[in-house]
Amino acid sequence: MNIYGQTLEELENYFATKNQKKFKAAQVYDWLYKKRVNSFHDMTNIKKEIIISLSQDFSIQKPKILQKQSGKDVHKYLLELNDNSKVEAVLMLHDYGNSLCISTQVGCNMGCAFCESGRQKKKRNLEADEMVSQILLIEKDLGLRISHIVLMGIGEPFDNYDNVIKFIQIINSNKGIDIGSRHITVSTCGIVPKIKQFARESLQVNLAISLHAPNDKLRSRLMKINKVYPLKDVIDAVKYYIAQTNRRVTFEYIMLKNVNDGFEEAEELAKLLKGLNAYVNLIPYNETSHIDFQKTSESHIMRFYDILKKNHINVTVRRKFGSEVAAACGQLRSSYEEGK
């Protein structure tokens, strides 16, 4: 087991089995996440026999940075895991803080038509420690504090539900990395049972739904998951989530030229979301050489935006990042593999 995949409670239980006081777990967390040591032997206020026990029972390894690309206010990383699998993470510098988009799986089985990651079939889930390590590695590399986390990289978070929940518990702990609940966003393409389960977790983190179309015909063309969980089921699950949590939901909408960006689609989207405690995030598309979709012009996006506004839908346009750094999700990994 890797030590970075242990919640504070799990470490407390571990020390209990060793007939040790549970405060030892908080000491270990302090060394891992506040002092950021890379070896158990650097934990100088912990007894030698406990250090030996930790070394025998846990790994303290992290992935390695294989490749890095930087552009204006953005840094994109290709990380190699201990089994040589590769995932991506993207750090975006905003005026409100530093936001890291992390991966949750090696590859993805959702097969969304516009997504580079969808071309790379899922090989396995990431363990909680492999998600935590993405934060630790990039904070160290850039010498800065990451304040916001978005689970929107390679993979579908709710297809790796248990590890994602554990990851959130670890990074949210005030004795750990201490990232506030409301600074954590989980994005899903719409796995309905997991949306409902997530609503019952009593977490204060943000939920985002990858929508990308206002009707079943178009969404099924763009997103295979819609054939399993059509829009009505997704919207019903969102209503359940809002009722359970009293939290606003984000709907992500990638703007694809002459596909889903028509003004009739804007009107249809407004009708679909009317009355929900939600807002729409319009996302300029990052084009990739492997997929034929094209980005919508800025002026057209703003006209789409205006239609939603006139229909009293809360809406924002996501700032475009990383057109110079292979920014599309999975693009850096693909180019690396092809380069080999």
CB atoms within 10 A of CB 263: 12
**Rounded-to-integer distance, Cα 49 and Cα 147, Å:** 36
Q: Name residue, tokens 């889903």.
A: 260
**108 is a catalytic site residue:** no
**329 is a catalytic site residue:** yes
CB atoms within 10 A of CB 113: 15
Element spanning 13, H or E? helix 8-17
Residue 218 and residue 260 in contact, taking contact as beta carbons nearer than 8 Å: yes
DSSP letter string over 162-221? Answer: HHHHHHHHHHH-TTTT---GGGEEEEES--HHHHHHHHTS----EEEEE---SSHHHHHH
**Rounded-to-integer distance, Cα 334 and Cα 116, Å:** 8
**Rounded-to-integer distance, Cα 6 and Cα 25, Å:** 10
In this structure, which amino acid lies at residue 149? Answer: I
**Rounded-to-integer distance, Cα 279 and Cα 318, Å:** 12
**Rounded-to-integer distance, Cα 295 and Cα 258, Å:** 9
- Pick the catalytic residue: 101, 108, 115, 329? 329
- Pick the catalytic residue: 88, 116, 127, 265? 88
Residue 54 and residue 28 in contact, taking contact as beta carbons nearer than 8 Å: yes
**Rounded-to-integer distance, Cα 324 and Cα 317, Å:** 20
Alpha carbons within 13 angstroms on the beta-carbon side of residue 37 total: 14
**Catalytic sites, residue numbers:** 88, 329
